[in-house]
Amino acid sequence: MGTGAFAVPSLISLLNSSHTVAAAVSQPDRPSGRGLGIEPTPVKQVASEFDVPVWQPESLKGEAPREKLKDFKPDIVVVAAYGKILPGWVIGDPPLGAVNIHGSVLPAYRGAAPIQRAVINGEAETGVTILRVAPEVDTGDILLTQTLAIEPEETSVDLADKLAALGAGLIIRALEIIESGQAVWIPQPAAGTDAPKIDKAEARIDWRKDAVSVKNIVRGLNPNPGAYFIFRDGRVKLWRAAAAPGQSGAQPGTIEGLMPAGPVVVCGEGTVLLTEVQPAGKKAMTGAEFIRGYRPISGEILE
């Protein structure tokens, strides 16, 4: 059971293993891209290429979805980035239950956006956890964890790709352990940290934050939904930025200077160099190209 790109390496890993993928369950196809055409989910695309039956229920409520799952006769359900809370029968009906591939070292970062939240918070390390699916999100017993360093310039999509590959190997190990009957499940502590879904309101840059925090927000929201600021009444997405120490008496958001690599903007503490931006309706460009094309002025305020 999976929908997004994070699940794809694990699906491919399972398809190339000794296990049989009876079916792929994915959320329904949604409009995507500028033309808002209906696009198949990443999991559906791969499953279809391998001639795996694909089921895309709008809802898992009621008895009909439960009977549909039983038709596939799964021994175990593997979940990765499915995107919906699962009913109890998904956990209870298969003989070996259901396991989830989660992009954090639990109990840290339970919830929908563990990878983005780890980057936004400036974490130096994260990882992948294989756990039992439980009624409360990401609170089930843990079978395996593996950690991974977060590089200082890494964006959330960079990190997600690495964690997805890590999870693809870890799930095969997990299934081998479960199949052998040697699984040791470790209960999680009740206390943990949450990683709620990113709210679009969080994407607008608050220049009152310190420079490192601004840089981390930019990294964490790249590529979706993308951090942004307002320049001359137009929205500009900020894809990459570099933080610098220092203190200025200028108002946060003020363009302090123009460097060869891009504008330098005052933060609550320190400054950030805008190295890659994208004005509305335009392609992404370097900070230098932004200066040449839009001619920002020292002293102007970005909102």
**Residues in the chain with pLDDT values less than 70:** 33-36
- Tell me the one-letter amino acid at 54: V
Q: What is the pLDDT of residues 255-276, one digit of tens each?
A: 999 999 999 999 999 999 999 9
- Tell me the one-letter amino acid at 266: V
- CB under 8 Å to 68, separation ≥6 — which residues? 55, 57
Q: What is the pLDDT of residues 231-257, one digit of tens each?
A: 999 999 999 999 998 878 899 999 999
Q: Which residue(s) pair with 186 in the sheet?
A: 142
Element housing 129 (H / E): strand 125-132
Write down the pLDDT at residue 140: 97
Are 40 and 196 contacting, i.e. CB atoms less than 8 angstroms apart?
no
Closest CA to 135 of 73, 71, 81, 89: 89
Q: Where are the alpha helices (DSSP H) in the chain?
A: 8-15, 42-49, 63-71, 88-92, 114-120, 156-180, 211-220, 287-294
Peptide bond into 223 cis (omega under 30): yes
Q: In this structure, which long-range contacts are made by residues 185-188, counting pairs with CB atoms below 8 Å and at least 24 apart in sequence?
A: 185/132, 185/141, 185/142, 185/143, 186/141, 186/142, 186/143, 187/141, 187/142, 188/106, 188/107, 188/131, 188/139, 188/140, 188/141, 188/142
Are 205 and 217 contacting, i.e. CB atoms less than 8 angstroms apart?
yes
Closest CA to 105 of 81, 129, 124: 129
Which CATH number, 3.40.50.1970, 3.10.110.10, 3.30.9.10, 3.10.25.10, labels domain 201-294? 3.10.25.10
User: What SS3 state is found at 116?
Assistant: helix
- Calculate the alpha carbon distances from 180 to 2, 142, 143 in Å: 25, 17, 13
Write down the pLDDT at residue 298: 96
Residue range 5-180 in CATH 3.40.50.170? yes
Structure tokens at 172: 């095969």
> In the chain, what are the domain boundaries?
5-180, 201-294
In three state form, how does the secondary structure of 73-86 look? CCCCEEEECCCCCC
CA–CA gap between residue 182 and residue 270 (Å, rounded): 53
